[in-house]
Every structure is written in C-alpha cells, then in structure tokens.
Amino acid sequence: MACISADGTLSASGRAMLVALERPATEEEVAGVTRLPLFRVRSGLRELVAAGLVSQQGGRFVATGPQSL
C-alpha cells in the first residue's frame, strides 16, 4: 500500500494527502498541493477512504478528523 503500511502507519505521501484534505478538495487539487501524480492521488485516496481516514462528498474528499494525522 502506498499511503498506509500493513501496521497502519501512514507514509509520507499519505500524511501529505491528509494535510491537503483538511479542507474538502478534488483529486486534482490534492495532486497540485502534494505534487504527486494524479494516478497516485487516486490510488492513495482509495486507501485512505477504505481506512476511514477520508470521506468522499461528491467529487470532493476531506479528512475525517485531526486524529487521522
């Protein structure tokens, strides 16, 4: 997993995405802030949503809480 390791630890890219998602943002906006390729943002968002660290509202994503950092 790119954003979350098997023991639940966030990678640097996972942490950067959560910081970018303190406010609702689109995939493209997250890619712009984190400077990650869009495909990695999409892949990472799937992981973060599956882990309950991010929620999706329409086309925007947002971190579910400060505890996620």
Partner 1 sequence: MTTVEEAPVARGLPRLGEPAPDFEAVTTQGTVRLTDFRGSWLVLFSHPADFTPVCTTEFIGFAGIYQKLQERHTELLGLSVDSVYSHIAWLRNIEDKTGTHIPFPVIADLDKKVATAYGMLMPGESKTEASRCVFVIDPEGVLRAMIYYPLTTGRNMDEILRLVDALQVADKNKVATPANWRPGDKVIIPTPNTVELAAERSSQDFIKKTEGYDSVDWYLTKKSLAP
Min dist CB 22 to partner 1, Å, is 22
Cα–Cα dist 13/31, whole Å: 11
The SS3 assignment for 29 reads helix
The SS3 assignment for 63 reads strand
Cα–Cα dist 25/35, whole Å: 14
Min dist CB 67 to partner 1, Å, is 23
Beta carbon nearer to partner 1, 44 or 63:
44
Beta carbon nearer to partner 1, 28 or 65:
28
Contacting positions for partner 1 (CB under 8 A): 1-3, 37-40, 42-44, 46-47
